[in-house]
Structure 1
């Protein structure tokens, strides 16, 4: 079977809260009739991102086109979760014209790319490209952009230094696997800062990798799709911190939990509580939805570091309980009771 006959697959990677789901929703909205199927992998027990995509109301995007895998990171569950899900999509009639995989923010891309060499997938798919979504403001602040060479120099100079920095490794692996880097939330920084982040990313990415800036996930489908990278045959040019190892990693440095929030009177006080809890407990990510009294639409919360925002996405259905669900993600050892109390007020 030739490459042209294979279904192209785009792997959408990026750190926690980088804007992958926003980018994907924009892609589905402007698909132009393409039959696009989506696999969403999330960290945590409540599939907020999958629900947002299934409920998007985009013409031509059916709930059955969205497959959610929430039982573990794809790079750790290739055989048990990913390959069966891909096979089921490929067996559909008609088959998708393109498949997009939105990985969790903790996923290492390379083990996933290796899975496309499996006999059941290699003859039927090709990795059109790996798109890394980068939070421009976060990188500008240095939160997830540690310099591995600087860490190595510090290791040599001081044997007592703490070297374990899994966030930096994940960030590097995602960036070094990319065929295209999207600088999301570019409207949150000024022109000089954006230029600096663009230069920094270009310097760390592989030669020839494109870097584009985006606001609200607005990137044209023809920019994201049709890269024809054939990444499954190009693994040697995509270095990883885990090359030569077992290609396994643990997520014991992170934990997540869900906070149920009763119907609230207004959004602003909740957003302030989310901000305060994030700062007080150094949270990485908050996402979820809540019910606002007197509002027929569901409010969707997004928090990355100290930045929080809320939008209304769809009406509450008659069979739904008007109760919020907020997913909290942070480093292991969170004081869950204290955080939940702060969020509930």
Structure 2
């Protein structure tokens, strides 16, 4: 690649827990000789996704090629955060062949694509494609999709009902901006439900977009990279619920971080975390835990009431062994009650 050529950028969007980080890790492990760089935008104060990817030790994307932005949505902080991050990556020697941007699960992708029209960015980068990762099981369960008949009945019965559903709008905006939709976690749904989800997605998008079904983000880099969409030149074909707005914010959601003491007995921990998530309608719980006597830290990730855990890497020499959980929910979640329940839960396992 010559220094005058634009560096392609793939934007990976998708709702909370859809599997974006798992998909990106698989790309890194199967880069096909490409030198990759990552820009990761987390929601919350603890960079779980960035930490997972930095710990991979994958030659195609060394640690210095990973930039994490946790100061808010990058499409809202283009000048302060995004442009400096991109400039730092382009100054690397050797320069990355391809940059992957992982958005927050709450982000609207279109404002980010618009940012690539900035003069300082447009001359050096092009949006190769927007990849939307969808949690097939969550959508099949109706977690992020409204029942249109029920909605119509509510509107007919009570004109004062607020029909605005920010979760639905975020989900639809991610689909509407996509050049490729990855229907992930298909092993968790029946063939009938999978067909229904595909039909719902097709009905949402007014243009032809390829939908690829997979599980555990197992897709080759050749499928995801090299789409050559030039999305920054194609904004009109990517409608959004927020096109009439000057800007947007994420005030529909709250997040906080809970410090967790070292645990001795993690038995049944995931089931109890699921109970807390269900009780308080928590969208996402993720983080790292310290287990006494174990040299590796435990990664915990939950979407709604579905949780999984794995040891992701050893604690480093001199590193503070501190467990932390990030909790994300809709605006108005009872933080004090959730903290109390989580604190009681982890105290039992301490």
Is the counterpart of residue 115 in structure 1 residue 115 in structure 2? yes
Secondary structure of 1:242 counterpart: coil
Deviation at 1:10, TM superposition (A): 0.3
Is the counterpart of residue 328 in structure 1 residue 327 in structure 2? yes
Q: 1:340 maps to which residue?
A: 339
Q: 1:301 maps to which residue?
A: 300
Q: 1:268 maps to which residue?
A: 267
* 1:163-201, Cα deviation, whole Å (9 max, x unpaired): 221111111111000000001111111222222212221
Distance in 2 separating the partners of 1:65 and 1:10: 15
Q: How many residue pairs get matched?
A: 343
Q: 1:292 maps to which residue?
A: 291
Structure 1: unaligned runs, 5 residues or longer = none
- Whether the 8 Å CA contact 1:6–1:124 is kept in 2: the answer is yes
TM-score with structure 1 setting the length: 0.94
Q: 1:82 maps to which residue?
A: 82
Gap change, CA 1:272 and 1:153, over 3 Å in 2: closer
Q: Which piece of structure 1 moves more, 197-206 or 286-295?
A: 197-206
Distance in 2 separating the partners of 1:320 and 1:92: 27
Distance in 1 separating the partners of 2:156 and 2:85: 45
- Whether the 8 Å CA contact 1:273–1:342 is kept in 2: the answer is no
- Whether the 8 Å CA contact 1:89–1:96 is kept in 2: the answer is yes
Deviation at 1:148, TM superposition (A): 7.6
Deviation at 1:245, TM superposition (A): 1.9
Q: 2:93 maps to which residue?
A: 93
Q: 2:205 maps to which residue?
A: 205
Distance in 2 separating the partners of 1:153 and 1:250: 30
Q: 2:55 maps to which residue?
A: 55
Q: 1:15 maps to which residue?
A: 15
TM-score with structure 2 setting the length: 0.93
Secondary structure of 1:268 counterpart: coil
Is the counterpart of residue 145 in structure 1 residue 152 in structure 2? no
Q: 1:40 maps to which residue?
A: 40
Q: 2:257 maps to which residue?
A: 258
Deviation at 1:337, TM superposition (A): 3.1
Q: Which piece of structure 1 moves more, 18-27 or 162-171?
A: 162-171
* 1:213-244, Cα deviation, whole Å (9 max, x unpaired): 11111111011001111100000000011112
Distance in 1 separating the partners of 2:108 and 2:299: 27
Deviation at 1:150, TM superposition (A): 7.8
Is the counterpart of residue 136 in structure 1 residue 136 in structure 2? yes
Distance in 1 separating the partners of 2:322 and 2:215: 31
Distance in 1 separating the partners of 2:227 and 2:152: 34
Please, what is the CA RMSD of the aligned residues?
A: 2.1
Q: 2:348 maps to which residue?
A: none
- Whether the 8 Å CA contact 1:262–1:322 is kept in 2: the answer is no
Deviation at 1:322, TM superposition (A): 2.4
- Whether the 8 Å CA contact 1:33–1:60 is kept in 2: the answer is yes
Secondary structure of 2:325 counterpart: strand
Deviation at 1:315, TM superposition (A): 0.8
* 1:61-83, Cα deviation, whole Å (9 max, x unpaired): 21111100000012221222112
| Mapping 1:178-197, distance limit 5 Å | 178-197=178-197
Q: Which piece of structure 1 moves more, 257-266 or 42-51?
A: 257-266
Structure 2: unaligned runs, 5 residues or longer = 346-350
* 1:271-316, Cα deviation, whole Å (9 max, x unpaired): 1221111011100000001122232221100100010110111111
